[in-house]
Amino acid sequence: MQTLIVEPNIVRPDDFYEALIDMHRDLTDEQSQMANAALILLLANHVGDLGVLREAIAAARTSVKPT
């Protein structure tokens, strides 16, 4: 069974982070939110495994509202 990878896994993390912030360049807040939603959906499909996705969803929620 796959589990959510939380150890470093991105080869060039600074490049990724820059690209992520760049995605939002010149976007209104609403457009940014829409782009974030699209990005989540694209990445979720790439991951595919529902167990991993549920783990990521739980970790994201906990980061905002600890249980």
Partner 1 sequence: MTTDYQKVEFPYVRSQDQDAREPVDHPVVVVGAGPIGLTAAIDLAQQGVPVVVLDDDNKLSSGSRAICFAKRTLEIWDRLGCGERMVQKGVSWNVGKVYFRDELVYSFNLLPESGYRRPAFINLQQYYCEGYLCEHAQALANLELRWKSKVVGVEGQGDGVALRVETPEGPYRLHADYVIACDGARSPIRGMIGQESIGRSFRDRFLIADVKMQAGFPPERWFWFDPPFHRNQSVLLHRQPDDVWRIDFQLGADADPEEEKKPERVIPRIQALLGRDAQFEIEWVSVYTFSCSRMDKFRQGRILFAGDAAHCVSPFGARGANSGVQDAENLAWKLKLVLARKAPDALLDTYDDERGYAANENIQCSTRATDFITPKNNVSRMFRDATLKLSKDHAFARRLVNSGRLSLPATLHDSPLNTPDCDTFSGEMAPGAPAADGPVMVRGDAGWFLAQIGGDFNGVYFSDGTLSGDIHRSFASLSRGAIPLTAIVVAPKGISLPESPGGTTVVEDSEGLLRQRYDARAGTFYLMRPDQHVCARWRRFDVDATRAALARATCTG
Strand ranges inside 1-67, DSSP E: none
Half-sphere exposure of 64 (CA within 13 A, CB side): 5
Sole binder of partner 1 in the list 16, 33, 50, 51 (CB under 8 A) = 33
* Residues, the chain: 67
Does position 20 bind partner 1 by CB under 8 A? no
Q: Which one of residues 34, 43, 57, 60 is an interface residue with partner 1 (CB under 8 A)?
A: 34
Asked if 37 interacts with partner 1 (CB under 8 A), we say yes
**Beta carbons of 1 and 51 less than 8 angstroms apart:** yes
Q: Which residues bind partner 1 (CB under 8 A)?
A: 33-34, 37-38, 40-42, 45
